[in-house]
């Protein structure tokens, strides 16, 4: 029997007053969907290590696929505050489900919209927005994670097509994706983006199993063995590492908001449990060490909420820098993972069970703190930004 989702979002500094009525309506519709469609099933799917594909239709309906994409291409035409809010509410439910939406919007639809031809936009974006097509993003390789410029996946110009060879790994959505945005080096060593379609000969997407994290998300590889990619599938308007890094900025922005959602869910769960759990004749909420944990949680959440609100304001004004986005991603995930661990302790043995979401969030966040730039890489991005010195090499 599915447990009722009693989640109430913390807002200690009345940050809601910064939001428009449209933003609040969007948030409520996504929150209602998560409570109705995600919360009742997510623990079972995480236990089974299976992605609930039936959620794809609903994700499209709530505008989670490319919410900032223009309306003429099937998107919602929303601002970045709305995009952040949507990601926060979905990740409050589960990081794996948010990952599915992030990949579709930030890593597949965004590059087609930003770097693609008009024909590519018309062909792919409306179907991606509706969920009729699902996509994935191929950047990370077996031997090149934090150093994507060292990639060995490559294309050779064969006149009427490109010949693509190589492999990508740790690819969310790959097992069921219809298309992949793939980054590969051309014969001059420049990084180019291509749209690779399922069914192209030599293209396969083996699934990754035995994960302890993002268990309700589909992860796999992309393998290219002499894949013939039509010339018209090349993204014409970008070359170099700025292409994939531009996509990562979009995704990192969504994670900055999303990871806070996981933190808020852990805090809300721990707070409610502490008021109901009786030890030594009274609720554990009345004990000093438990109050210390809760006070530190709500303080970090509040600081994080202010950070992402300001980041959204800057992004709407096209003033947010990659380094500012990086800081917010790192901060949100770090506080979320710490809050998950503290909340788990407050619940004692119950905290490790599927009766509560905390342990699932904690395991998921071990992936979120690694993907789209590891915690340490993001520290170095901030370090380089404030010192002007490059510590990467």
For residues 2 and 40, is the Cβ–Cβ distance under 8 A?
A: yes
Buried b (16+ CB within 10 A) or exposed e, 103-115: bbbbbbbbbbbeb
**Phi (first) and psi of residue 70, to 5 degrees:** -55, 150
Strand partners, 179: 135, 197
Half-sphere exposure of residue 102: CA atoms within 13 angstroms, side-chain side: 32
**Continuous H helices in the chain:** 21-33, 39-48, 55-61, 80-93, 95-102, 110-115, 118-130, 242-276, 288-316, 322-346, 358-368, 375-387
Max CA separation in the chain (angstroms): 80
So which residues are the catalytic ones? 372
Strand-pair category, 135-138 with 179-185: parallel
Distance CA 101, CA 96 (A): 9
Residues 6+ apart with CB under 8 A from 101: 59, 64, 65, 86, 87, 90, 254
The b-or-e profile of 366-390 (16+ CB within 10 A means b, else e) is: ebbbbbbbeeebbbbbeeeeeeeee
Alpha carbon distance 95, 266 (integer Å): 13
For residue 287, count CB atoms less than 10 angstroms from its CB and return exposed for 0-12, middle for 13-18, buried for 19 or more. Answer: middle
């Amino acid at each position: 029997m599915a447990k009722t989702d009693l989640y109430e979002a913390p807002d200690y500094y009345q940050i809601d007053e910064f939001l428009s009525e449209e933003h609040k309506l969007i948030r409520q519709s996504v929150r209602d969907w998560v409570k109705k469609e995600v919360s009742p099933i997510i623990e079972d799917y995480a236990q089974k290590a299976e992605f609930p594909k039936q959620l794809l239709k609903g994700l499209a309906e709530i505008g989670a696929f490319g919410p900032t994409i223009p309306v003429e291409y099937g998107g919602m035409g929303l601002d970045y505050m709305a995009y952040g809010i949507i990601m926060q509410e979905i990740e409050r439910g589960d990081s794996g489900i948010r990952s599915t939406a992030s990949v579709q919007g930030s890593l597949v639809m965004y590059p087609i919209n930003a770097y693609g031809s008009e024909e590519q936009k018309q062909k792919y974006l409306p179907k991606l927005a509706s969920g009729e097509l699902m996509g994935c993003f191929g950047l990370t390789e077996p031997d090149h994670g934090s150093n994507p410029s060292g990639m060995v996946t490559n294309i050779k110009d064969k006149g009427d097509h490109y010949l693509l060879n190589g492999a990508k790994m740790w690819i969310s959505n790959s097992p069921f994706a219809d298309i992949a945005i793939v980054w590969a080096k051309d014969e001059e060593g420049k990084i180019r983006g291509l749209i690779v379609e399922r069914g192209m000969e030599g293209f396969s997407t083996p699934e990754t199993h035995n994960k302890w994290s993002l268990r309700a998300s589909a992860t796999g590889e992309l393998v290219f063995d002499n894949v013939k990619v039509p010339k018209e599938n090349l993204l014409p308007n970008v070359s170099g590492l700025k292409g994939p890094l531009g996509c990562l900025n979009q995704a990192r922005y969504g994670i900055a908001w999303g990871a806070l959602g996981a933190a808020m869910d852990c805090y809300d769960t721990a707070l409610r449990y502490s008021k109901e759990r009786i030890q030594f004749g009274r609720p554990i909420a009345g004990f000093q060490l438990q109050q210390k944990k809760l006070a530190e949680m709500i303080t970090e959440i509040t600081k994080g909420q202010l950070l992402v609100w300001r980041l959204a304001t800057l992004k709407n004004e096209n003033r947010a820098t990659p380094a500012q986005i990086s800081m917010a991603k790192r901060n949100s995930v770090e506080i979320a993972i710490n809050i998950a661990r503290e909340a788990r302790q407050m619940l004692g043995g119950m905290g490790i069970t599927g009766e509560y979401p905390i342990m699932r969030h904690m395991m998921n966040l071990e992936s979120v703190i690694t993907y789209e730039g590891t915690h340490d890489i993001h520290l170095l991005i901030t370090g380089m930004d404030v010192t002007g010195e490059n510590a990467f090499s």
